[in-house]
Amino acid sequence: MRTMPIIDIKKLSKTYRVYQKKEGLLASLRGLVHRQYRTIHAVSEIDLTVEQGEFVAFLGPNGAGKTTTLKMLSGVINPSSGQCTVMGFVPWKRENAFRRRMALVMGQKNQLWWDLPAQESFRLHQHIYGIEKGRFEQTKSELADMLTVTELMGQPVRELSLGERMKMELIAALLHSPSVLFLDEPTIGLDVVAQHNIQNFLRHYQQDRKITIILTSHYMKDIAALCRRVVIIAGGTIHYDGSLRGIIDRFGSEKIITLTLAKTESLAGLEKVGREVSIEIPKIKFRLPKDEVAKTLAQVFSTKHVEDIVVEDPPLEEVIARVFFEAEQSMNGGNSSAAGNPLEISRR
Amino acid sequence: MGNDELKSISNLHAEEPNRVVDSQSTVNALNSAYRIPYFTILWTFARNSLVRDLSFRTNFILEAISSLAWTLMNLAFFKIIFLNASSIGRGTGWGEYEFYIFLGTVWIINSIVQTVFMPNAQEFSELIRTGHLDFALLKPINTQFLISFPKFNWSSLVNAFAGIVLVNYSLIRLSSLAERPLELSIWSVPIYILFLCCGIGILYSIILSMASLSVWFGRNQNIYLVYFYLTQFYRYPSEIYQRGVWGYGLWAVFSFAIPILLVANVPARFLARPLRPEWTSSEFYMIGFTLIATVASLFASRWVFNRSLLSYRSASS
C-alpha cells in the first residue's frame, strides 16, 4: 500500500508587492503621494513531496524562497496560489490539531520570554499544548540532558549565550513531540562547537523519533551531517532534488587532479595541461573537465614518470555556488520557466 | 556532548521502547479531548509578567509612583474646578461627588487598559513589524487571546486602586447627603462592573483594531498617541457635548461611530445617578445601546484582526 506523503506541495506560489523606494528626500516626499510597487515572486509554482521520516535540506542563496516556503508549510503566511498539505492538513487554516503536531524553529527569531528563565516559557508551552505533567517533566529533562543545558534552565534567557539560547529554543519547540519539524537556519551565528552540538542532537533526535524534518541552512556542514536529501531552491523555483553527492555528479563539471612526479622528472610540457595549474615541486595541481580526465592522464602517463595521483571533486561549496549563480542568471534573463532553464530540473 | 548524549539516547530507548507509537497515540488522544486551559494560561501570563516586573524593582516602583502622582494631580485639578463651579454642565446633576465617581471610573478603566491592553497592543504592533508574530500563529490556541494578554504592566494597576478608593469615598459622601441622598441597591455594584467591562471592551476593540492596522502600515507607533487623544474626550460626562454644532458633532461621532462616550458615562451614571431619583428615557437608551455597541465593537475588531492576519507577511529573517 502506498502511503500518502507527509508533505505534499503542488504549484505553491507566493508573490509580494513591495514599495519601490527611490533614493533621496525629494523622491521620498513624492513617495508619500504616488508610490511605485514591484511584484516579487518569492516562490513560484514549486512542487515537492516529502515522506514521513525524511530529513530534507533546503539549500539556496539569500532571498531564494526557502524561508518563505517554510513559513507557508508551517501556516504562518498564506500562499498566493497553489496547494499544500502537511500531515493531511492545509497549514494556513491553522487548525489546532495541526499546530499541536508541528513546530518551527528560527535561528533569527526567538520565542522565549527574554527576561525570564527558559523554564517559565516551557511551562507556558505545557499549558498551551496540553502536555500531561509527568510527560512534560520527563521530556523536558531528557531534552535538557541531551543538550546539556539542565543547569541553565533557571537563568533568565537574556543572560544565556547564543548557542545556549538556541538549545532552549529547540527544547521549547520539541516539548510537545511534534511529528513535523521545520528548522530555519538553526545554527546561524553559532561557533563551530555549538554548531556541532546542535547537529549531533538533531541527528540523534531524528533517528530516535523518526520525525520528519525540513532544514534550511547556509552551512554545508549542517547539511552534510544531517540530510540525505537536498532540495536546491533559487529564485523561487526548485533546481535540484536529490542527494548531496548527486549535486557534484550533476553540476560538478570538473575534477581536480594532483600529480606527484618522480624526482628526476621535469615539469616541462605540463604548463598547459589544464586550468588553474599550480606547481609545488614535485607536485602539480590542475583542473580538467570531467570528460577529458582519462584522455589527458593517459597522455601524461605516457610521457612522464608519475609517482602518485589524486583525483578529487571540486569543493561542494564551489559547485553549489555555481548552481546558485547559474540559477540566478537564468532568473535575471527574464525567463523563469523550467523549460528555459539551462539547468534541467531533476526529481527523484 | 558526544558520549553523554549517546548514553542518554540509549536511556530513552530503554525506558520507552515504543516511543513513536506512544507519542502518536497521545497526540491523537489530545486532538479530540484536549481543552485549552485559558484561565491557567492567563494566570501564567499575569504571574510571569509580575516576576519580570519585580526583577526590575526600582523601575517598577518609580513607574507606580509617577502614574499615581499624575492621577492625584488630576484630582487636584478637578478640585480646583469645583472651587469655581458647582457642577460640570448646567443642570446635568454632575456635582462634585457625582463627578468624582465619574473620575474614579475613568481611572479604573484607564488603569486596566494600561495594565493589560495597551502594552499588548503595542507589543502586537511590534510583533508584526519584526515578524515575531510567527510564533503566536504557530501555537495551537486562539491567536487573538495569545496576543491580547501575554504582557501585564502591573505598575499601572495602582491607579485602579486609587479609582476604587475615590469611587467608594464619593459614594459614602453622596449617601449621607441631607437632600437627595444616593440610595444603592444590591444590584448597583454588579451592574456597575458589567458596564465597566463593556467600557473596557469598547476601548480594547479600538486598540486592537488600531494595532491590527500595523499589518498594512508596516509601522504603527501612533497607537498610544491616538488612544491618548481619544481618551481626552471620554473623560467627561456626555451632556457637556450636547451644546452647539461642534458639541453635537463630537457627541454623535463619539457615541455612534467610535463609541468612547459610552465607556465611562454609562457605568458612572449607573452608580452616581446624577439625575436621581428618576431615570430619563435617554439614560435607558444609552444603557441599551452600550450593550449593543460593546458586542458590535468586539465583533468588528475581531474582523479587522482576522483580516490583518490574512495579510500578515512575516518580516524576513
In angstroms, rounded to a whole number, what is the distance separating the alpha carbons of residues A193 and A190?
8
Pairing of strands A212-216, A180-184: parallel
| B-chain residue closest to A63, CA distance | B316
The H or E element that residue A10 is part of is strand A7-19
For A183-225, write each residue's pLDDT tens digit.
999 998 888 898 999 999 999 999 999 999 999 988 888 888 8
| B34 pLDDT more than 80 | no
Looking at residue A325, what is its pLDDT? 83
Looking at residue B316, what is its pLDDT? 62
Which of the two residues, B15 and B83, has the higher pLDDT score? B83
- Which pTM does this prediction carry? 0.83
- Stretch among A120-134, A203-217, A244-258 having the lowest mean pLDDT: A244-258
| B315 pLDDT more than 90 | no
A142 touches chain B (CB under 8 A): yes
- Stretch among B13-27, B54-68, B77-91 having the lowest mean pLDDT: B13-27
Looking at residue A181, what is its pLDDT? 96
Looking at residue B220, what is its pLDDT? 67
Of B4, B20, B41, which has the smallest distance from its Cβ to A127's Cβ? Answer: B41
Looking at residue B90, what is its pLDDT? 82
Cα of A326 to nearest chain B Cα, Å:
24
Q: Edge-to-edge, what's the strand order for the sheet holding A254-261?
A: A275-280, A283-289, A254-261, A306-312
Q: Which of A18, A19, A71, A104 to mutate to test the interface with B (most CBs of B within 10 A)?
A: A71
pLDDT band at B33; cut points 50, 70, 90: low
Looking at residue B10, what is its pLDDT? 39
For B109-123, write each residue's pLDDT tens digit.
999 999 999 999 999
For A333-348, write each residue's pLDDT tens digit.
544 443 333 333 333 3
In angstroms, rounded to a whole number, what is the distance separating the alpha carbons of residues A296 and A301?
9
| B264 pLDDT more than 60 | yes
For B286-296, write each residue's pLDDT tens digit.
888 999 999 99
In angstroms, rounded to a whole number, what is the distance separating the alpha carbons of residues B144 and B141?
9
Residues 6+ apart with CB under 8 A from A277: A270, A271, A284, A285, A286
Cα of A108 to nearest chain B Cα, Å:
6
Q: A76–B137: do the CB atoms touch at under 8 Å?
A: yes
> CB–CB of A156/A115 below 8 Å?
yes
For residue B193, the tally of other CB atoms under 10 A from its CB is 12
Average pLDDT over residues A90-99: 94
> CB–CB of B8/A145 below 8 Å?
yes
Q: Which residues pair with residue A237 across a beta bridge?
A: A234
Average pLDDT over residues A116-143: 93
For B190-208, write each residue's pLDDT tens digit.
999 999 999 999 999 999 9
| B-chain residue closest to A149, CA distance | B1
Q: Three cell numbers at A228?
A: 540525505
Average pLDDT over residues A96-118: 92
- The mean pLDDT value of chain B amounts to 85
In angstroms, rounded to a whole number, what is the distance separating the alpha carbons of residues A111 and B130?
12
Q: Which residues pair with residue A85 across a beta bridge?
A: A8
Residue A17 gets which letter from DSSP?
Answer: E
Looking at residue B18, what is its pLDDT? 37
For B37-60, write each residue's pLDDT tens digit.
999 999 999 999 998 888 888 999
- ipTM > 0.90 for the complex: no
For A281-319, write each residue's pLDDT tens digit.
788 888 989 888 999 888 888 888 888 999 988 888 888
Q: Which of A6, A14, A113 to mutate to test the interface with B (most CBs of B within 10 A)?
A: A113
| B-chain residue closest to A148, CA distance | B1
| A77 pLDDT more than 70 | yes
